[in-house]
Amino acid sequence: MNRVIERHCVVCVDDEPAILAALRRSLRLEPYDVLTTESPEDALRWISTRDVSLIITDQRMPGMQGTELLEEVSRSSPSTARIILTAYPGAAYSTPGLRRWLECMISKPWDSGMLRRTIRHLLWEREMDLAQEETVNEERDAIED
């Protein structure tokens, strides 16, 4: 395999600065680059310019709901893992098509240990998927040569 595992980039989006600060505290000892923003539009710009491994977003935000943001992320960056944080899990679950583009929903307030374990698991799954994709591409290239 030629792929070098780089430091994961995790983007956190919430319209409440206190929630973003709590997420930074929860992830401060993890080996990730953590970017935080109150703006879903900033998150989409970041995803278009860098390899974002995982995005965590609030559901209820002004301008763009978290489910709308994650649906857009699933189209523009399908390998980015997607988590939604919500104080209203029932309302978010009623969103049509949610399960097609969401890996995990976590209720507020969250357990920091569970959040970290969930992130580690989703990033591990992402690594495995990318490694499998690379192997398939290498085998296809070998057959074509």
The model's pTM is: 0.84
- Residue 14's CATH number: 3.40.50.2300
Q: Which distant-in-sequence residues (6+ apart) come within 8 Å of 60 by Cβ? A: 66, 86, 87, 88
Average pLDDT across each block of 10 residues of the chain; the chain has 145 residues. List them in order: 68 98 96 96 96 95 91 93 85 60 84 95 89 79 76
Q: What is the DSSP letter of 107?
A: E
> Residue 89's domain spans which residues?
8-144
Domain count, the chain: 1
pLDDT tens for each residue of 47-63: 999 999 999 999 989 99
DSSP strand E in 32-145: where?
Answer: 32-37, 54-58, 81-86, 104-107
The answer to whether position 114 is within a domain reads yes
